[in-house]
């Protein structure tokens, strides 16, 4: 089967790409999705407590005013079923399902320089081709499985949170969980009241603040919907579009009493992004300022957790420089008699044996269920598992052997007519509106290629190098490189530094795209 364009992945990115290319450009477009339903990340992540940490009315497409009017959200933050339902409604609204093949994995893609098109190999053995390919594989989609001896033969239930089976029961069971990132925090909070016993195997304690989630009144929801245009206009003038009123003052410019008051106010209001970006403007750029936030959150942990030994185990000692977490009562769960935390940095997991977790110190924890909340090989993870070959057969693994790189998070050199959504260098911002910026630019580039009667478009290597250097310099201006975070790929042993994000913000990224347009797309080469 031959198409004008193929889209891979049916999350926020892929669905919008399908709509833009098919409906606005008139391209014969088809989308392939590995799962049995649309939703992307929000299809796969069905674990208990799964929730967005961006405000409900902002965690959606910004372009469709009418869709928001009919959209149903009940709380400040959308739960996973609500997000998936939103995306299913979006697909129905624009009649996208007729051009989507579910349960279909793209196993490989190769550029045919003679025919000037992409040939895609599907996992079932079929091949399809297209002039243009839009990869919407997802920023957080390839599960990270920890290399623990005996993991393949664990005798109890073994579940990775990103592949949570329907109907899983945990009530009354002895449960262990590895991982205390955003997912782990949500799962622990959700299941702790119901399990017989919960053992949290913690390598890195987390800074987390209250989410501030709760049900909204009908009047409040109506206010949001009535002021849709104004809200989005204001938000798109912010750096991150997370719904936080971003601070313009330094933590050093106020008295200790005022600093404490501001932190307390943000703590009461709730929201991880709000706490990090709405209190002071230098929490991720200045270690001393960051230290004030660290100590404040640690003091809260010590207040919430009654057992002083548990409290100190749960207190992070490193920088507050990872993804800013928020929770619905995470630390309070450790006041339960049935919840324990084990420091596996001090006493690592040696192996799994039978249905037990065995530590290097010899301690054994017998479990009915072991949950892996170990996150993802973010950014390039899904690309590294694929056979993807560009000009002269160069493999994407070779192209990115020293770290994933792209121009604008949209294209990578030597891979013509291949467009990435949420590629390396995507702006660190609320994902749906950032995705809109990227997909709109992709649609423009395809239209420009067509208008110039070109057979292919490719990001220039010089343009890519300049953009990668810009991302690197912006990242170096923060304290992020000093923290072992998935944001830089540091959660995967042996993985080279991978700049998953452009840290200049939504607005400046939008300005860069406008500059590309004003320079007549000279950052790209058009082949005739």
Rounded to whole angstroms, the Cα distance separating 193 from 429 reads 34
**Domain 151-372 falls in which CATH fold?**
FAD/NAD(P)-binding domain (3.50.50)
pLDDT tens digits, 86-138:
999 999 999 999 999 999 999 999 999 999 999 999 999 999 999 999 999 87
Backbone φ and ψ of 517, nearest 5°: -65, -45
Rounded to whole angstroms, the Cα distance separating 121 from 515 reads 36
Mean pLDDT on 250-276: 97
What is the predicted pLDDT for the residue at 126?
96
Q: H helices within 247-286, ranges in order?
A: 256-269, 272-278
Nearest alpha carbon to residue 428 among 401, 406, 409, 407: 409
pLDDT tens digits, 458-487:
999 999 999 999 999 998 899 988 877 666
pLDDT tens digits, 279-320:
999 999 999 999 999 999 999 999 999 999 999 999 999 999
Mean pLDDT on 394-418: 92
Mean pLDDT on 263-270: 97
Burial pattern 333-356, b for ≥16 Cβ within 10 A else e, equals bbeeeebbbbbbeeeebbebeebb
Checking if the pLDDT of 381 tops 90, the result is no
Contact 346, 228 (CB under 8 A): no
- Residues 6 or more apart whose CB falls under 8 angstroms from that of 8 comprise 14, 31, 32, 106, 133, 134, 135, 136, 137
The model's confidence at residue 51, banded by pLDDT at 50, 70 and 90, is: very high
Given this structure, which CATH class describes domain 2-142+377-527?
Answer: alpha beta
Checking if the pLDDT of 446 tops 60, the result is yes
Contact 429, 241 (CB under 8 A): yes
Rounded to whole angstroms, the Cα distance separating 460 from 511 reads 20
Mean pLDDT on 497-505: 80
Nearest alpha carbon to residue 187 among 35, 343, 374: 374
What is the predicted pLDDT for the residue at 73?
86
pTM for this prediction = 0.94
Higher pLDDT, 27 or 405: 27
What is the predicted pLDDT for the residue at 1?
82
The Cα-based distances of 359 to 319, 347, 356 in angstroms read: 27, 6, 10
Checking if the pLDDT of 494 tops 80, the result is no
| Ranges for all domains in the chain classified under CATH 3.50.50.60 | 2-142+377-527, 151-372
Start-to-end Cα distance in the chain: 24
Strands 501-502 and 418-420: unpaired
Rounded to whole angstroms, the Cα distance separating 158 from 372 reads 8
What is the predicted pLDDT for the residue at 180?
94
pLDDT tens digits, 517-526:
999 999 999 9
pLDDT tens digits, 230-257:
999 999 988 899 888 899 999 999 999 9
The model's confidence at residue 493, banded by pLDDT at 50, 70 and 90, is: low
What is the predicted pLDDT for the residue at 488?
63
What is the predicted pLDDT for the residue at 431?
93
pLDDT tens digits, 420-442:
999 989 999 999 999 999 999 99
What is the predicted pLDDT for the residue at 368?
98
Checking if the pLDDT of 504 tops 80, the result is yes
Check residue 76 and report its DSSP letter: S
What is the predicted pLDDT for the residue at 54?
93
pLDDT tens digits, 344-353:
999 999 999 9
Q: Any bridge partners for residue 55, and if so which?
A: 77
Across all residues in the chain, what is the average pLDDT?
Answer: 93
Burial (CB < 10 A; 0-12, 13-18, 19+), residue 85, is: middle
Collapse the DSSP code of 75 into the 3-class scheme (helix H, G, I; strand E, B; otherwise coil) and give the result: strand
Nearest alpha carbon to residue 419 among 1, 4, 17: 17
């Amino acid at each position: 089967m031959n198409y004008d364009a193929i889209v891979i992945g049916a999350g926020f990115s892929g669905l919008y790409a399908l709509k833009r290319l098919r409906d606005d450009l008139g391209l014969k477009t088809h989308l392939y999705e590995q799962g049995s339903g649309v939703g992307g990340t929000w299809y796969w992540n069905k674990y208990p407590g799964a929730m967005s940490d961006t405000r409900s009315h902002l965690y959606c497409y910004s372009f469709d005013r009418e869709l928001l009017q009919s959209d149903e959200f009940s709380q400040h933050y959308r739960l996973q079923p609500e997000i998936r339902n939103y995306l299913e409604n979006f697909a129905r609204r624009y009649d996208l399902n007729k051009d989507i093949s579910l349960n279909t994995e793209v196993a490989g893609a190769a550029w045919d320089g003679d025919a000037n098109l992409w040939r895609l190999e599907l996992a079932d053995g079929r091949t399809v081709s297209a002039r243009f390919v839009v990869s919407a594989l997802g920023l957080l989609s390839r599960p990270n499985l920890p290399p623990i001896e005996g993991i393949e033969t664990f005798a109890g239930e073994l579940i990775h949170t990103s592949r949570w089976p329907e109907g899983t029961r945990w009530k009354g069971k002895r449960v262990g969980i590895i991982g205390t990132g955003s997912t782990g925090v949500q799962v622990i909070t959700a299941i702790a009241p119901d399990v017989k016993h919960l053992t949290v195997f913690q390598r890195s304690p987390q800074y987390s603040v209250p989410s501030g989630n709760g049900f909204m009144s009908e009047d409040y929801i109506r206010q949001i919907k009535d002021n849709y245009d104004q809200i989005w206009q204001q938000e798109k003038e912010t750096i991150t579009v997370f719904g936080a009123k971003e601070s313009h003052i330094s933590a050093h410019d106020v008295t200790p009493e005022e600093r404490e008051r501001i932190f307390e106010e943000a703590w009461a209001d709730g929201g991880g992004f709000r706490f990090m970006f709405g209190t002071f403007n230098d929490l991720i750029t200045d270690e001393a300022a960051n230290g004030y936030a660290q100590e404040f959150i640690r003091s809260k942990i010590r207040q919430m957790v009654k057992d002083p030994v548990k409290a100190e185990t749960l207190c992070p000692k490193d920088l507050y420089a990872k993804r800013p977490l928020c929770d619905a009562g995470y630390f309070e769960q450790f006041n339960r008699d049935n919840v324990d935390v084990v420091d596996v940095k001090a006493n690592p997991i040696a192996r799994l044996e039978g249905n037990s977790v065995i530590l290097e110190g010899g301690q054994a924890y017998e479990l009915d269920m072991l949950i892996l909340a170990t996150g993802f090989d973010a950014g390039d993870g899904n690309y590294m598992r694929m056979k993807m070959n560009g000009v002269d057969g160069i493999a994407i693994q070779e192209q990115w052997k020293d770290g994933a790189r792209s121009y604008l998070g949209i294209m990578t050199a030597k891979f013509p007519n291949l467009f990435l959504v949420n590629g390396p260098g995507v702006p660190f911002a609320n994902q749906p509106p950032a995705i809109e910026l990227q997909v709109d630019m992709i649609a423009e580039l395809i239209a420009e290629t067509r208008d110039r009667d070109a057979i292919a478009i490719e990001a220039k290597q010089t343009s890519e190098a300049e953009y990668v250097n810009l991302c690197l310099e912006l990242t170096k201006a923060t304290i992020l490189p000093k923290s072992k975070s998935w944001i830089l790929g540091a959660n995967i042993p042996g993985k080279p530094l991978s700049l998953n994000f452009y840290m200049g913000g939504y607005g400046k990224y939008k300005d860069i795209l406008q500059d590309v347009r004003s320079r007549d797309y000279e950052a790209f080469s058009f082949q005739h």
